């Protein structure tokens, strides 16, 4: 057992301004963000607080390992503990989980892999909680020189749902510009294979032997579908449950408490239109970029074995010149609001067309959407645009239905084509 006096208190380098990082921003290696593991919201918050301490040079070193100390009373609010006994029980459970979590890497060319624990020791005594990081991970924890994401501790501690926490940091790590790229805006399109997203968010535990063995069969191109299928854990296995209890909850919380605006669309294919992937449309610094720029562009089928982030094609970006569509912050809020009430398979172009036709009046748009449910509608976007422009009423809809279906379809196709032409015009 090492004596306390053998530990070294880290002293900041000359010229280091500790107040610079008092806002709680911290850096997290994308290697750690991209690791597939199952965790709780409390575990993630503990790591976030520790990384913030490390950036502020508030830690000790013991035989090359970083040790972070926390006063239990300071963790009560972050962990939702009511009293000393409650915080003790929570930290006891968190410690067991933290010391069992591992991350790793694979090199298929040389047939090598390496998995190591992130936290090698966690202890509690006299009101002080300590965690000791694996010294082999120091380059991913302190003094990170590249391939990292800067996160706000204030924001991360506000999350109440672990899936919101994980999805936010995953999307944040993918929404970036490569060096030298034009920084015209901060809108990104990020695609994930559904099974890999389940692993990344911890729905399926990648550390289970049955799952890990399959992932290691072909590290260059892991069979995520088969790995997920092999897991004995079947939580939210159905797409509807996964959407309702995980994705929708996470997106809602991210949009509510962070500076990032997120929408998504399922990717479907095969027999029965099975959902096999998700496309996220991400806008960074939404308070700075008040106009809705993340219109869905032409779909690009990305390789399913690769998680890829790319900038939305320029011709589909927010337009600001005369004659082009530009949304105010209030209009953007309407678009985001009605997007959550309309069917999930509508794309953002269609939702914006509906919002524009309804003069960005949520109640008016909702009224016509409820009316659409009483009709036999083949093209919801076209029907909604026509209904909003012509103020369809229950009686008038019946009268319109006496027209030939061919004529009505033709009119609706003309309307939506005209809208799309205006929206996407260069």
CATH number for the domain running over 1-157: 1.10.10.10
Least confident of 169-178, 233-242, 291-300: 291-300
CATH architecture of the domain covering 158-318: Orthogonal Bundle (1.10)
Looking at 70-84, 132-146, 359-373, which range is the least confident one?
70-84
What would the pLDDT profile of 166-196 be if each residue is shown by its tens digit? 999 999 999 876 654 545 457 889 999 999 9
Task: Answer whether 212's CB lies under 8 Å from 232's CB.
Answer: no
Q: Is residue 270 over pLDDT 90?
A: no
For CA atoms 149, 150, 153, 156, the dihedral sign is negative
Q: Hey, what's the torsion of the CAs at 4, 76, 121, 102, to 10 degrees?
A: -150
CATH fold match for the domains 1-157 and 158-318: yes
Query: 130 vs 104, which has greater pLDDT?
Result: 130
**Half-sphere exposure (Cβ direction) of 239: Cα atoms closer than 13 Å:** 14
Percentage of the chain beyond pLDDT 70 is 72
Domain residue spans of the chain: 1-157, 158-318, 341-424
**Cα 192–chain centre separation:** 11
* Per-residue pLDDT at 109: 62
Axis-axis angle for helices 162-174, 41-55 (nearest 10): 50
List, for residues 35-86, the tens digit of each pLDDT value.
Answer: 888 889 999 999 999 999 999 999 999 988 999 999 988 888 777 777 777 8
pTM of the full structure: 0.63
Which of 239, 234, 287, 299 has the alpha carbon at shortest distance from 260? Answer: 287
State yes or no: pLDDT of 259 exceeds 70: yes
Average confidence score pLDDT of the chain: 76
């Amino acid at each position: 057992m090492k004596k306390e006096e053998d530990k070294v208190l880290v002293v900041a380098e000359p010229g280091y301004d500790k107040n610079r990082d008092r806002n709680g921003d911290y850096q997290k290696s994308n290697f750690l963000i991209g690791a597939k593991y199952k965790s709780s919201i409390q575990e993630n918050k503990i790591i976030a607080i520790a990384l913030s301490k490390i950036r502020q040079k508030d830690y000790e070193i013991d035989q090359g390992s970083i040790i972070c100390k926390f006063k239990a009373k300071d963790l009560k609010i972050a962990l939702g503990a009511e009293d000393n006994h409650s915080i003790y029980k929570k930290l006891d459970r968190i410690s067991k989980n933290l010391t069992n979590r591992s991350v790793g890497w694979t090199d298929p060319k040389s047939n090598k892999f390496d998995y190591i624990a992130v936290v090698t020791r966690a202890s509690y005594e006299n009101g002080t909680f300590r965690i000791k990081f694996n010294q082999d991970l120091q380059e991913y924890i302190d003094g990170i020189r590249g391939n990292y994401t800067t996160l706000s501790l204030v924001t991360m501690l506000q999350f109440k749902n672990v899936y919101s926490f994980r999805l936010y940091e995953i999307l944040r790590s993918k929404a970036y510009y490569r060096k030298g790229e034009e920084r015209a805006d901060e809108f990104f399109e990020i695609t994930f294979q559904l099974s890999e997203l389940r692993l990344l968010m911890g729905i399926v535990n990648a550390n289970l032997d049955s799952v890990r063995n399959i992932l290691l069969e072909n590290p260059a191109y892991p069979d995520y579908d088969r790995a997920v299928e092999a897991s004995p854990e079947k939580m939210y296995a159905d797409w509807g449950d996964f959407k309702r209890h995980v994705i929708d909850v996470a997106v809602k919380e991210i949009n509510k408490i962070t500076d990032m605006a997120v929408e998504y669309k399922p990717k479907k294919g095969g027999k029965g239109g099975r959902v096999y992937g998700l496309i996220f449309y991400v806008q960074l610094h939404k308070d700075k970029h008040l106009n809705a720029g993340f219109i869905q562009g032409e779909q690009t089928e990305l390789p399913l074995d690769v998680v890829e982030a790319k900038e939305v094609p320029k011709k589909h970006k927010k337009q600001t010149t005369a004659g082009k569509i530009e949304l105010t912050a209030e209009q953007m809020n309407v678009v985001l609001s009605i997007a959550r009430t309309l069917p999930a398979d509508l794309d953002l172009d269609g939702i914006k067309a509906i919002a524009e036709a309804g003069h960005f009046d949520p109640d008016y748009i909702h009224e016509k959407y409820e009316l659409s449910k009483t009709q036999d509608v083949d093209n919801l976007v076209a029907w909604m645009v026509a209904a909003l422009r012509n103020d369809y009423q229950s009686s008038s809809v019946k009268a319109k239905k006496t027209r030939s279906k061919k004529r009505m379809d033709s009119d609706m196709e003309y309307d939506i084509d005209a809208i799309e032409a205006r929206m996407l015009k260069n």
